[in-house]
């Protein structure tokens, strides 16, 4: 909690929710997760979820560049531990598999933690 989240790719900030300070382990908190959604040039959208209360450091309509700070990590919504929920969707709501730069394994494993290297 409190770490700076940076943009994985350049794009335009399309949506921000940062008014929640709630979390719980049931679906009743599913809509309580603070998030930032960024639209990329190829039409895909990156969702950064579980951010801190008032944790956005960008505004809707802002153009962001690679590695630009966009928010502060937190623990909001349907979660039991602080973490960043990061998903890339293409049109139609289909998630896109991706690899982090320097990632050695082919797939990320559930329950494992990964550090971002600069």
pLDDT, tens digit, 9 for 90 and up, residues 31-79? 999 999 999 998 899 999 999 999 999 999 999 999 999 999 999 999 9
Write down the pTM of the prediction: 0.80
What are the pLDDT digits (tens) for 95-112? Answer: 666 666 666 665 666 666
118, pLDDT greater than 60:
no
Q: Would you say the C-alpha torsion 20, 25, 26, 30 has a positive or negative sign?
A: positive
Which pair of structure tokens corresponds to residue 10?
């350049």
| Cα–Cα dist 68/9, whole Å | 9
């Amino acid at each position: 909690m409190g770490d700076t989240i940076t943009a994985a790719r350049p794009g335009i900030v399309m949506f921000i929710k940062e008014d929640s300070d709630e979390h719980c382990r049931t679906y009743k908190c599913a809509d309580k997760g603070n998030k930032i959604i960024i639209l990329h040039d190829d039409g895909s959208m990156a969702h950064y979820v579980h951010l801190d209360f008032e944790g956005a450091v960008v505004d809707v309509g802002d153009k962001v560049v690679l590695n630009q700070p966009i928010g502060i990590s937190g623990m909001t919504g349907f979660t039991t531990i602080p973490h960043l929920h990061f998903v890339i969707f293409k049109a139609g709501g289909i998630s896109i598999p991706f690899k982090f730069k320097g990632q050695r394994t082919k797939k990320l494993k559930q329950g494992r933690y990964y550090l971002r290297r600069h």
